[in-house]
């Protein structure tokens, strides 16, 4: 009888595809040591590659286990349907015109943030999420803004990253502050600044945010936040309040409204 041995992946890209394919075929979370054994890869190599896959939103991590992310199609991710995204699309273009920055819609999908629509600026600044359509909610401005109004999702993120008590406390304080100011600005080490403003629903949970990104030295945060808030208000006025097909959403673009948005407050342990 002839048996076929699995070839050990050679290049970095081949290793990444092999790990992703293995997780997709498993259909469940798999421990790092088991993935390393199955693919005959050093644990350090598998861990490094999985970290990159997690950063691009293709896999999720829980402790030492990893699971492939299966992207939803047709109906749209989470509680926000494709129809709502379609109606909001023109406002993403409005943000691009008003700010000159790459603009996106974003919503939560588990521990990830999903970008169903994006309008690119001419600045040539790109991100990994341009290709995957998603990123870690914990690591992005859009994700942090969404987590600030979704305690259950914040708890899920904290658990998935195995945050200790001190880090959970810091995250809670940060999300509370973001909920009060109703915008978030986050700069990365590679010179990119991202800003997000939420559209809030009746229970204080925003199913979507408007977000932009640009070169850190060229982004005026105050002016950009103001522009985002004005477009968000226009979107709420013309889209959410003129239809009964979707739940009414109310823009919270000023700190005074943040207290009402957090009906039950953020939990002490996220």
Residue intervals of the chain classified under CATH 3.30.450.40 are 82-261
- Superfamily of domain 82-261 in CATH is GAF domain (3.30.450.40)
Residue 152: pLDDT over 90: no
The pLDDT of 237-266, averaged and rounded, is: 45
pTM, whole model, 2 decimals? Answer: 0.63
8 A C-beta contact, residue 113 and residue 134 = yes
What's the CATH number of domain 12-68, 1.10.10.10, 3.40.720.10, 3.40.50.300, 3.10.310.30? 1.10.10.10
Residue 135: pLDDT over 70: yes
- The number of helix segments (H) and strand segments (E) in the chain equals 10, 10
Tell me how far apart the alpha carbons of residues 202 and 206 are, in angstroms, rounded to a whole number: 9
Give which of 57, 266, 61 is closest to 162, Cα–Cα. Answer: 61
Q: Rounded to 5 degrees, what are φ and ψ at 61?
A: -120, 140
Q: Rounded to 5 degrees, what are φ and ψ at 222?
A: -60, -50
- pLDDT tens digits, residue range 25-81? 666 678 999 999 988 899 999 999 998 888 776 787 877 888 776 554 433 444 445
Residue intervals of the chain classified under CATH 1.10.10.10 are 12-68
């Amino acid at each position: 009888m002839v048996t076929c041995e699995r070839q050990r992946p050679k290049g970095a890209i081949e290793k990444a595809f092999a790990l992703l394919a293995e997780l997709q075929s498993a259909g469940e979370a798999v421990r790092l040591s088991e993935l390393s054994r199955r693919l005959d890869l050093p644990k350090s190599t598998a861990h490094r590659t999985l970290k990159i896959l997690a950063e691009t939103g293709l896999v999720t991590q829980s402790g030492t286990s990893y699971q492939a992310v299966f992207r939803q199609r047709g109906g749209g991710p989470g509680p926000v349907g494709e129809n709502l995204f379609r109606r909001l699309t023109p406002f993403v273009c409005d943000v691009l015109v008003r700010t000159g920055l790459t603009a996106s819609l974003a919503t939560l999908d588990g521990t990830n943030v999903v970008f169903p629509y994006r309008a690119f600026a001419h600045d040539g600044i790109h991100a990994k999420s341009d290709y995957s359509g998603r990123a870690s909610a914990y690591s992005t401005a859009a994700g942090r803004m969404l987590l600030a109004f979704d305690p259950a999702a914040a708890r899920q993120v904290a658990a998935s990253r195995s945050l200790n008590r001190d880090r959970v406390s810091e995250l809670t304080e940060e999300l509370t502050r973001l909920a009060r100011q109703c915008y978030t600005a986050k700069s990365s080490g590679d010179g990119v600044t991202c800003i997000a403003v939420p559209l809030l629903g009746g229970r204080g949970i925003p199913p979507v945010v408007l977000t932009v990104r640009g070169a850190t030295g060229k982004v005026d945060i105050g002016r950009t936040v103001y522009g985002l808030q004005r477009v968000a208000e226009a979107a709420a006025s013309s889209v959410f309040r003129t239809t009964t097909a979707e739940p009414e959403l109310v823009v919270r673009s000023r700190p005074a409204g943040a207290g009402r948005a957090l009906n039950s407050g953020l939990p002490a342990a996220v």
